[in-house]
Structure 1
């Protein structure tokens, strides 16, 4: 007569309750650690704000629109040309006559790297025409920001310029 052994043999080192618990806790701890790292990195990096006070600038948007309408009423047109390390800027009124501004500021802005932005020193070269040296400016896409004033009238222009 034999006695039947109804026990099923278990393999050693199998998946047990404590091991499942350890894997679950380890998984959630690692996910939490990655989340803490990502949130910390996001808070310490660029906040994404372009303006210092965006809410206040938004409130003043109607003033900006009114100034743009007034500027368009002037009918001034800006021309720019870059060749041989010299930038030539011209300003004309609606009739095509040169505009001699009392003050003109020109900034050369690099969209891909703000550290390369520069204020240009303009030299008058006749009525409504100015020149500035742009030696050392890398070839490629630039933006030209111009502010011209004459007799309380202000003209702002922002245009794209490609340097050879």
Structure 2
């Protein structure tokens, strides 16, 4: 008669299961990060980046023409009875520049994508103003374009609205 005796194994070890569990945790965290990344900023700054790249020499020539004008622009947001975009244009001789028809485009660099476009009116020589109702406080990018000749002067500024 044969007696079968099973060897005693003791408690099972958890160590072999730690590697697949750790690997699964890393994959899970990466999937969550991927989900958040795809659900936010798409990364596209310009929809036609190739065409803009082909016209880069034209952009450089336009920037040189704008620099040759020698204008200085000071832009900001003033608060009084309401908020207003104020731009002061000064020529290379230090005299105010009148007769422009500037427009301003206000965008938010972070947060809600807000895009406001306003036309500024001249209220004093070289001082242009437009009332605007900003929906948020914080950082704003202001892009100005003004000019009466073949070259439209362009300026940009980042301002903080408190």
Tell whether the 8 Å contact from 2:101 to 2:119 is kept in structure 1 after alignment. no
CA distance in 1, matches of 2:37, 2:111: 21
Counterpart residue number, 1:27? none
SS at 1:73 equivalent: helix
Tell whether the 8 Å contact from 1:102 to 1:151 is kept in structure 2 after alignment. no
CA distance in 2, matches of 1:91, 1:159: 14
Stretches of structure 2 lacking an aligned partner (at least 5 in a row) = 13-25
TM-score, with length taken from structure 2: 0.70
Structure exhibiting the larger radius of gyration computed from Cα positions? 1
Q: After superposition, give the CA deviation of every residue in 1:129-161 in whole Å (9 maximum; x if it has no partner).
A: 111113344322111100011222211111111
Shift of the alpha carbon at 1:39?
Answer: 8.0
Q: Which deviates more from structure 2 when the two are superposed, residues 123-132 or residues 135-144?
A: 135-144
TM-score, with length taken from structure 1: 0.70
The reply on whether 1:59 has 2:59 as its aligned counterpart is no
Q: 1:79 to 1:137 in 2, by over 3 A?
A: farther
Counterpart residue number, 2:20? none
Equivalent residue pairs, number:
155
Given candidates 74, 82, 89, the residue that maps to 1:79 is 74
C-alpha RMSD over aligned residues: 3.9
Stretches of structure 1 lacking an aligned partner (at least 5 in a row) = 15-30
CA distance in 2, matches of 1:65, 1:102: 23
CA distance in 2, matches of 1:72, 1:153: 11
**Structure 1 runs, 4 residues or longer, greater than 3 Å off:** 3-11, 34-47
Equivalence map 1:11-90=2 (5 Å): 47-81=42-76, 82-84=78-80, 85-90=83-88
